[in-house]
């Protein structure tokens, strides 16, 4: 059992960054000292390029295409 977690940064091409709790998956607008949902203490924001997959970026581009035209 882990008692610490970290924020996983999600970057969006056409939106604000979000931070996801690595323990429960809670999405926050900004990293906090502890997860508001599960209460797990955070080691700090961690940028994980392997997690920020290209599909998210692609979805953002597609959304912009459909709703921006
Ligand atoms: Zn959490």
The domains of the chain are located at: 4-67
* pLDDT at residue number 49: 53
**Rounded Cα–Cα distance for residues 64 and 67 (Å):** 5
The percentage of the chain sitting over the pLDDT mark of 70, rounded to a whole number, equals: 59
pLDDT tens-place string over residues 4-25: 899 988 888 888 889 999 999 9
**Ligand 1 mean position to 5 CA, how many Å?**
8
When the pLDDT of each residue in the chain is averaged and rounded to a whole number, the result is 76
Q: Where are the alpha helices (DSSP H) in 1-69?
A: 54-67
**Ligand 1 mean position to 56 CA, how many Å?**
21
**Rounded Cα–Cα distance for residues 59 and 39 (Å):** 31
DSSP symbols for 29-53: SS--SB-TTT-PEEEEEE--TTTS-
Threshold 0.85, pTM exceeds:
no
Identify which has the larger pLDDT, 27 or 54. Answer: 27
**Ligand 1 mean position to 42 CA, how many Å?**
9
Region 49-65: what's the mean pLDDT? 55
């Amino acid at each position: 059992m882990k008692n610490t977690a970290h924020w996983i940064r999600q970057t969006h091409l056409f939106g604000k960054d979000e931070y996801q709790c690595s323990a429960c998956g809670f999405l926050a607008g900004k990293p906090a000292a502890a997860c508001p949902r599960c209460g797990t203490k955070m080691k700090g924001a961690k940028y994980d390029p392997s997690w920020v997959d290209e599909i998210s970026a692609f979805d953002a581009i597609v959304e912009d295409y459909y709703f921006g035209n």
